[in-house]
Chains A and B, each alone.
Chain A
Amino acid sequence: MVIEVRNVTKRFDTFTALHGLNLQIQPGELVALLGPSGSGKTTLLRVIAGLEFANEGQILFDGTDAGGRHVGERRVGFVFQHYALFRHMTVFENIAFGLRVVPRQRRMSDSDIKKRVNSLLSLVQLDRLADRYPTQLSGGQRQRVALARALAIEPRVLLLDEPFGALDAKVRKELRRWLRRLHDDMGLTSIFVTHDQEEALELADRVVVMNQGAIEQVGTPEEVYDSPATPFVYEFLGNVNRVPCRIENGKVSLWGVDVAAETHDGATLPAGETAGFAYVRPHDIELLPAGQGEPAVVRHVAAAGPTARIEVSVQGVQPLIEAQLSRKRYLDLGLKVGQQVAIAARAARVFPASASPGPPAGPAGL
């Protein structure tokens, strides 16, 4: 089903949570709404579901306005962040709920309900837990019950609010792959909310990056990671070095590369010299023996795993710069803490300081 968000604005009292958003989601897509807390991603999901209503704008399902219909009539499967399982019902009854509340003339027979619930139970691999209560389940099991319950009503769209937020790392990875397979097998159109960029980039067909109630960028994981449209996207997608620099006549020369400065909103760059920030990914940084470029000092080395993460200090740059080297390169250089080296950049993007969203909230490591 095609879902279209058209000019949607949502206000809570004096606070505007969504500023005139536009977004189109194609049938069969798995889309991630990615952003920090307070960016409006959950509000957008709830407006699409019909749990909240927009003050302005429309939500269209296959071209028809869903505005007048509340959540029960939109046939959306909604999986809540904390699952919201009915605590006084067994797993079986939780999943059967959506089938039992159908008006009598359209309701399935008890035996059909039983059949459907049992097939959903085996779909989410919980056959043996049908008689348990939610409190007797682990986080991952509750998550799957919530999913089965949402799927029972044969939704046209599956909406998931932070679906893996409350799970530990290992379960999270497993469930993620499982959800991707389920989405593909059932031919669903799905939207999920997350603040975890790794999750969004790994799982989604397209990522919608949100900030302060607005959409910063929409694109495939490669697009948003390789060519972030704004400084915010650069910083939120993490693992980037932000280097203050001077832009002269629209150009910056940084560690051996010349970069043209750009603005994300089409504004013209101020003439002459102005302050800016260069964004350099750690894997676009090369370390060389001392004397072959801008001098730097190795401050910290984390070499476990396939790549080595080296932190170096560069004169006049705060904080430390992170470089990512292949294991082989790291061994060839024989890097030690305190060693003098030279730093070079292979690629960088430069934005004027006025476009920058302010100091980063801290390293959001991959």
Chain B
Amino acid sequence: MGRINPITERRGLRAGLIAASLLYILLFLVLPVVTVFTEALGKGFGGYFTAINDPAARSAIKLTLLTAAIAVPFNMAFGIAASWAIAKFEFRGKSVLITLIDLPFSVSPVISGLIYVLLFGAQGILGPWLAEHDIQIVFAVPGIVLATIFVTFPFVARELIPLMQEQGTEEEEAARSLGADGWQTFWRVTLPNIRWGLLYGVLLCNARAMGEFGAVSVVSGKIRGLTNTMPLHVEILYNEYNIVAAFAVASLLAFLALVTLVAKGVLEWAYGHELGGARA
């Protein structure tokens, strides 16, 4: 019998485990991404750029960017406000608020979308009033933005709450005792302390805002050139057997995902200690 190291497995088992996980990642993560890019370039770069330059595709890209440009700042402001309140103050109903913030994660996106249809749709609760005032929400851009905000609601707050709880309130108290008012305390002390965590949350929020399919698909109505976002446009092209165009648009989303992943990795590597206990 050789010496047995109690904290490590036998060499064969170790190699087996590593090989199994690598194979798994290759099969389910790397291969699909590679497929997206090879299919997109199936008709060469010319076909690729034609597909992206198509007016419907361009309108989908624009709508996706617009949606993210509204939803992300919104949820950033809300996320900061909510985590500030939760981490730094004691109040009634705090646990209810924390549960509510997590709600979009636990509800299927399709149902989230459906809620908006039931609320704002022609047959919905607020439908008649909206029709009277000539406001269209469902099957229009506002509905898409609202659904996206709902679905991406938790990302920033979830990132900041543990970070801010860990940092406590002493630095804010110190700032106050030195004569800073609430704004100065926020801008000079609180915000700089959470900046990397905030950026991290915003990245995740943005990736989801651009990639959201389920909720948006319910409220969009899929009017080509008007209410199609990129993920919806991909689906339509695919159903029309326009494989190259579908994968070309999909490749843009995949590219965004890769950029997010790299940025996330860099943030974790460089500022891990400032991203809160869960991630340090």
Contacts and interface: CB of A to CB of B under 8 A. Distances in A.
B29 to A, nearest CB: 36
Nearest to A75: B179
Interface string A142-183: 000000011011000000000000000000000000000000
Contacts of B178: 72, 97-98, 101, 149-150, 152-153
B175 A51 contact: no
Contacts of B175: 86, 97, 101
Central interface residue in B171, B178, B189, B192, by most chain A CB within 10 Å: B178
A225 interface: no
Nearest to B195: A88
A337 interface: no
Contact of B173 (A51, A77, A85, A101): A51
B179 A78 contact: no
Interface string A49-73: 1010000000000000000001111
B280 to A, nearest CB: 14
A163 B175 CA distance: 18
A290 interface: no
Given A82-B170, A86-B171, A49 B177 contact: yes
A152 B174 CA distance: 13
Chain B contact residues: over half helix, strand or loop, or mixed?
helix
Given A72-B181, A88-B193, A101-B188, A80 B176 contact: no
B180 A97 contact: yes
B35 interface: no
A72 B174 contact: no
Interface string B113-142: 000000000000000000000000000000
Contacts of B174: 78, 80, 84-86, 149
Interface residues of B, number: 16
B173 A84 contact: yes
Given A86-B189, A97-B188, A101-B188, A51 B179 contact: no
Interface residues of A, dominant DSSP: loop
Nearest to A101: B180
Contacts of A149: 174, 178
B155 to A, nearest CB: 23
Interface string B174-201: 1111111100100011001100000000
Interface string B159-177: 0000000000011011111
B90 to A, nearest CB: 9
Nearest to A78: B177
A33 interface: no
Given A97-B188, A101-B188, A84 B171 contact: yes
Q: Which of A77, A98, A152 has the most B CB atoms < 10 Å from its CB?
A: A98
Interface string A111-140: 000000000000000000000000000000
A101 B180 CA distance: 5
A2 B238 CA distance: 80
Interface string A76-105: 111010101111100000000110011000
Nearest to A46: B173
Interface string A186-226: 00000000000000000000000000000000000000000
Nearest to A77: B177
A72 B179 CA distance: 4
B176 A72 contact: yes
A49 B173 CA distance: 11
A77 B178 CA distance: 7
B179 to A, nearest CB: 5
A113 to B, nearest CB: 13
A49 B189 CA distance: 20
Contacts of A49: 177
Contacts of A71: 173, 176-177
Contact of B193 (A76, A80, A87): A87
A78 B179 CA distance: 11
A339 to B, nearest CB: 51
Contacts of B189: 86
B91 to A, nearest CB: 12
B86 to A, nearest CB: 18
Nearest to B193: A88
Interface in B64-106: none
Contacts of B179: 72-73, 98, 101-102, 153
A94 to B, nearest CB: 9
A87 B193 CA distance: 8
A76 B177 CA distance: 7
A86 B184 CA distance: 13
A241 B255 CA distance: 76
A102 B175 CA distance: 12
A356 to B, nearest CB: 37
B173 A72 contact: no
Contacts of A150: 177-178
15 contacts: A51-B173, A51-B176, A71-B173, A71-B176, A72-B178, A72-B180, A78-B174, A80-B173, A86-B175, A97-B178, A98-B178, A101-B179, A101-B180, A149-B174, A150-B178
Interface of A: 49, 51, 70-73, 76-78, 80, 82, 84-88, 97-98, 101-102, 149-150, 152-153
Given A73-B179, A80-B170, A101-B175, 7 more contacts: A51-B173, A71-B177, A77-B177, A78-B174, A97-B175, A97-B178, A101-B179
4 interchain residue pairs of minimum CB distance = A98-B178, A84-B170, A84-B174, A101-B180
